[in-house]
A and B are shown apart, each in its own frame.
Chain A
Amino acid sequence: MEITALSQPTVAAQLRALWIIAKKDWKVFWRYPLNAVSHVFQPIIWVTPVYFMGKAFSTNGQALGFAQYSGTGDYMSYVLLGTALSNFILTVFWGMGFALKEDMDAGVLESNWLTPVSRLHILVGRTLTSLLTTTITSLIMLAVSALLFGFRPTGNVVAAILTAIPMLIGLYGFGFAFAGIVLLMREANTLVDVSSFLVQGFSGANFPVKSLPYWLIPVSLMLPLTYGFDAVRGFLLKTSTLFPLNVEVTILIVFMFVMLWFGAWIFNRIERKVRTLGTLGQH
């Protein structure tokens, strides 16, 4: 008696799979309510010592030393915007690779991976949810912080958002490559911890890149995210930027395409390597 397989690989089926993965991640995220709340309040907690430190350098609420680098004395708005964007860095670094690793530890990865859905599709599906939940938590965080610390966006909101988009997409593209590396390593915690911290720092989340010692500035300039942070702030807060805004936006768009392609390519190669090494089942 012949058994007819029920699986039909069509574009519609692939899209449905993506949707299902996104839905699952969404549900799982909100099933850990403390974790969701933590996502909103953690950035605020980290911003607080920065706020008070800023006050220690300020007279009458204006950080004049800071203004020399950035063109504005409004240090908090500068930092809050950086923090909101940094949320995405954290999500990408911790979320992508460790989501896979968690699945691996729970034994679910293999069952997910045995399905004919392209592995990359699975990552993309998770990305959608991640983008959505992080945007929500970032916006809430900004709202709460605005109440606590004051947030004064005086510039062009639309342009800022439009600029953020290629940056975020590029960031997630990079996340694919990073996820592959995390898969390969048994103990990725330190790597993720340190690199997400350094990337945040050097992209200028908390301070203008211009203020770095001259020999560290090249590190920042090599990170595409630096231009993203700079441009978004340039539009939204009218700060002085490293390069003219249109140059920075172009860099971001190029970054986006390069990262999407590169990230997918790296991920696929590493995934194939993991299959030959047989690392998938161990943890």
Chain B
Amino acid sequence: MSDLAIEASQLVKKFPAKPGTGDKPSEGGSAPPPKRKLFPFGKKEPNAMFTAVDGVDLQIQRGEIFGLLGPNGAGKSTTIRMLCTLLEPTSGTARVNGFDVVRQANDVRRSLGTVLAGERSIYWKLSGRENLEYFAALYHIPPAIAKKRVEELLERMEIKDRANELVEKYSTGMRQRIAIAKALLARPPILLLDEPTLGLDPQAARNLRELIAQLKREGHTILLTTHYMEEADQLSDRIGIIDTGKVIALDTPEGLKRRIDQQEIIRLEVIGWQEYIGDKLRALSEVSNLVARKQGEADLWEVNMQSNNSRAVLPKLVENIGQNGTRLVNMNIVKPSLEDVFIHLTGKALRD
């Protein structure tokens, strides 16, 4: 019996692509511009494949919280769906709780509690309690135990006083709590949480993170996906950074940050940033991974860069900014965060 809660080996998932979005560029250059059709019947194009997950390896220890961190479209949801048996991998293998996800799918399902798409995963025309009772039966929990368990979870999620109201009347936070209670019903050893705090207000998100930490203390293994770096940093024992279908780094949060430890992060706030300044600064040897992002409507930009010698860089910064209408508003030199690790590894920002 393996003591790995989840192990995945070279997981690959390819989907038939929508026309024009496949992996390979289409033959013969770009398609002709679409004619203005009076009767626009859909036309079928030859099937290209789109690789969502491109060889992911994971080894998740029992009792740990593992964070899968990456931007939207990186392949996090697809990976989770393969692990919980909703999707079959195109190639590669995965075992959850020692069971193969393809050949022992039902055993895998018994071992998992999963939260995907939070509030849409429960029945709005049923009450919170009815939802939990229903799913308890689907997970083969004997009725006497199920009853107690449902009450226990309603209490723990603080929904007991509204448990008999229809879910359609709940707030998003409450619906998410029911979804989580649903995942915990059969007391599964392993939990998969796909973007659990997405759409929650800060207090609710905070409470949920507290709960996740508690669940770990109770012995659950948790795999969670997120694109919030603070969340991954705060909760995870280890983090896998995933981008364009591949795990590009896997380590503890500290370990990851230490990778660019020799680097410092220079954070600037600039008004009227222009590309040529970025090009000039990138040309400097002490500067790497410069990323500039516009903040909101006004011409305010956040510019991040990594430097191994900020002392040498600063005067050159000041020299280049402060001309042609560009103004430096704020500057900070900080220790690297996970986001910076991400930028370091991929050259792009985590949030786009």
Does A pair with B? yes
Q: Which residues of A contact B42 (CB under 8 A)?
A: 31, 33
CB within 8 Å of A: which of B2-47?
Answer: 38-42
Chain A residue at minimal CB-CB distance from B42: A31
Q: Which residues of A contact B38 (CB under 8 A)?
A: 30
Chain B residue at minimal CB-CB distance from A28: B40
> How far in angstroms is the closest Cβ of chain B from A55?
37
Query: A17-36: contact bitstring with B at CB < 8 Å (1 yes, 0 no)?
Result: 00000000001001101000
Chain A residue at minimal CB-CB distance from B39: A30
Number of A-B contacts (CB under 8 A): 10
> How far in angstroms is the closest Cβ of chain A from B266?
31
CB within 8 Å of A: which of B121-168?
Answer: none
- Consensus secondary structure, chain B interface: loop
Query: B240-280: contact bitstring with A at CB < 8 Å (1 yes, 0 no)?
Result: 00000000000000000000000000000000000000000
Please, how many angstroms separate the alpha-carbon atoms of A91 and B42 in the complex? 24
Please, how many angstroms separate the alpha-carbon atoms of A33 and B40 in the complex? 9
Q: Which residues of A contact B40 (CB under 8 A)?
A: 27, 30-31
Please, how many angstroms separate the alpha-carbon atoms of A31 and B38 in the complex? 10
> How far in angstroms is the closest Cβ of chain A from B167?
15
Please, how many angstroms separate the alpha-carbon atoms of A33 and B39 in the complex? 9
> How far in angstroms is the closest Cβ of chain A from B171?
14
> How far in angstroms is the closest Cβ of chain A from B125?
12
Query: B288-314: contact bitstring with A at CB < 8 Å (1 yes, 0 no)?
Result: 000000000000000000000000000
Please, how many angstroms separate the alpha-carbon atoms of A27 and B38 in the complex? 7
Please, how many angstroms separate the alpha-carbon atoms of A30 and B40 in the complex? 6
Q: Which residues of A contact B39 (CB under 8 A)?
A: 30
CB within 8 Å of A: which of B41-58?
Answer: 41-42
Query: B206-222: contact bitstring with A at CB < 8 Å (1 yes, 0 no)?
Result: 00000000000000000
Q: Which of B38, B40, B42 has its CB near the most chain A CB atoms (within 10 A)?
A: B40
Q: Which residues of B contact A31 (CB under 8 A)?
A: 40-42
Q: Which residues of B contact A27 (CB under 8 A)?
A: 40
> How far in angstroms is the closest Cβ of chain A from B124?
11
Please, how many angstroms separate the alpha-carbon atoms of A33 and B41 in the complex? 7
Q: Which residues of B contact A33 (CB under 8 A)?
A: 41-42
Please, how many angstroms separate the alpha-carbon atoms of A208 and B40 in the complex? 41
Q: Which residues of A contact B41 (CB under 8 A)?
A: 30-31, 33
> How far in angstroms is the closest Cβ of chain B from A276?
21
Complex A-B: 10 CB contacts under 8 Å: A27-B40, A30-B38, A30-B39, A30-B40, A30-B41, A31-B40, A31-B41, A31-B42, A33-B41, A33-B42
Other A-B pairs beyond A27-B40, A30-B40, A31-B41, 7, CB < 8 Å: A30-B38, A30-B39, A30-B41, A31-B40, A31-B42, A33-B41, A33-B42
